[in-house]
Amino acid sequence: MKNIFLFLMSLGLLLRAGTVLAICPICTIAVGAGVGLAQWLGIDDTISGIWIGGLTVSMIVWTINLLDKKHWIFKGYKGIIVFAYFLLIVLPLYYTGLIGHPYNMIWGMDKILVGIVVGSLVFEGAVRWYENLKKQNGGHAHFPFEKIVFPVGALALASLLFYFLTR
């Protein structure tokens, strides 16, 4: 456990920016704690997974943007970042027993993993939808905080859908 903590802290130091951004491996630990809290509160794991997936994609985008800004670009860096973030989130959840329980399944797959996949796709789709609408509007948002409303609203709608599917 000590080695994992040191690795995550080293990674955080390598990726830190001049200003404070929510790009930290500690967020992964917070996500794991959030899943535990959500289970304690009785929130379905699929819904928790949706928000974990959204957070993961957000951190991936922030990290890629940071590396692009600092010109730390190398062959395959985007794929490596995507793989690393999902690995940093899924492995701790697996080793703590939160993923992989045989009675925690939906459609033959683990509920948290289904939620992570759905949340990742929904978040990415909402961001692309926002960018497309902004482009059609001359590069301007239609209303204040539209950039936040689209992905968060899409995650909320997906959560509502899965709330009714898993009841």
- Considering the chain, what percentage of its residues have pLDDT values greater than 90? 23
pLDDT > 70? residue 30:
no
Average pLDDT value for residue range 90-96: 86
Q: Is residue 74 part of a domain?
A: yes
Q: Is residue 1 part of a domain?
A: no
Q: Is residue 9 part of a domain?
A: no
Q: Is residue 79 part of a domain?
A: yes
**Which pLDDT belongs to residue 135?**
92
Query: How far is the C-alpha of 112 from the C-alpha of 120, rounded, in Å?
Result: 12
Domains identified in the chain, total number: 1
**Which pLDDT belongs to residue 96?**
84
pLDDT > 70? residue 133:
yes
Q: Is residue 84 part of a domain?
A: yes
Tokens (6 digits) for 89: 């989130």
Which domain does 91 fall in, by range?
27-165
**Cα Dmax for the chain:** 51
pTM: 0.75
**Which pLDDT belongs to residue 162?**
92
Q: Is residue 14 part of a domain?
A: no
Q: Is residue 85 part of a domain?
A: yes
Average pLDDT value for residue range 12-16: 45
**Which pLDDT belongs to residue 4?**
46
Asked if 14 and 81 count as a contact pair (C-beta separation under 8 A), the reply is: no
pLDDT > 90? residue 158:
yes
Q: pLDDT-derived band of residue 1, with 50, 70 and 90 as boundaries?
A: very low
DSSP state letter for 105: E
Q: Is residue 19 part of a domain?
A: no
